[in-house]
Amino acid sequence: MNDAVVNDIVMNRENAEEMLAQPEDIAGIRADRKNKLAAALRLFGKFGFDEGVAGHITVRDPEDTSHFWVNPMGKSFKQMTVSDLLLVNHKGEVVEGEGLLNGAAFTIHSQIHMSDPKIIAAAHSHSVYGKAFSSLGKTLDPLTQDACAFYEDHVLFDDFSGVVLDNSEGQRIAAALDGRKAAILQNHGLLTVGETVDAAAWWYITMERSCQAQLLAEAAGTPKPIGHEVALSSRETVGSALAGWFSFQPLYDVITAEQPELLD
């Protein structure tokens, strides 16, 4: 995000928060969340985050908050539309839509949504740099302004036990998050959450790029991290829920202009 824009948001927070205003009716909120979910999936496909049938983004339904919308298993991110999305309850039952439910998507995301009502959306995929970084068994360093969004606000989940098909592992991942915006799942990949689909998707996109940047920096030499106090103050700017939401908007505008059929 442009520094001037970030500063304007911080200095005029009351006006900026008006941009976050949701439709007042349940149907409008649901439609907005589903539109953003389908767009986020298209963006993940565009950025190469897809890997076969792996990967899923979910968003809580605004009316029945024990249900969430998710992409069906076996449908390419690059071809996802709003009408493809599945509505799933916390028993793992598809109550609306047609298609297969990814077992790992249910196991991980249902536990995350149940663990914290503030989590509206969650994103996970098997993107290349996230996978590579996850094998190192450590968290991200504050090497760049963008990486500061995750400073002391993400966790390493180092309890990998294979494909996540057991609710107990989903519960452990949810417990490990403990109010943070992201987790590095060791030997697996990245997971991000947010108070909006927009923020959860943006955190994933920028976390993947931050993993790439750190891998490149460490391959080239010995990176110099940003100091603790500066990293914390930077997080307050680039790592807020509002900044996450706002950063997603240009991407949403571009993908819906390029691929308007996703809203069908």
Assigned domain for 57 exists: yes
List the domain range (segments joined by +) for residue 158: 24-263
Assigned domain for 120 exists: yes
Assigned domain for 156 exists: yes
Contact 203, 191 (CB under 8 A): no
Work out the pLDDT band at 57, boundaries 50, 70, 90.
very high
How far is residue 226's CA from residue 221's CA, in Å, rounded to a whole number? 16
Work out the pLDDT band at 11, boundaries 50, 70, 90.
very low
Assigned domain for 17 exists: no
Assigned domain for 3 exists: no
- The pairing of beta strand 182-185 with beta strand 154-157: parallel
Domain count, the chain: 1
Residue 256's alpha-carbon distances to 20, 119, 221, in angstroms, are: 19, 25, 40
- Mean of the per-residue pLDDT values for the chain? 91
Tokens of 131: 């996978």
Enumerate residues 6+ apart whose C-beta is below 8 A from 203.
Answer: 123, 149, 150, 181, 182, 192, 193, 194, 244
Q: What is the pLDDT of residues 206-245, one digit of tens each?
A: 999 999 999 999 999 999 999 999 999 999 999 999 999 9
DSSP 100: B
Q: What is the pLDDT of residues 12-45, one digit of tens each?
A: 555 555 556 666 799 999 999 999 999 999 999 9
Quick one: the chain helix, strand, coil %, rounded to 5?
50, 15, 35
| CATH code for position 82 | 3.40.225.10
Assigned domain for 4 exists: no
Assigned domain for 2 exists: no
Tell me, yes or no, if the pTM score tops 0.85.
yes
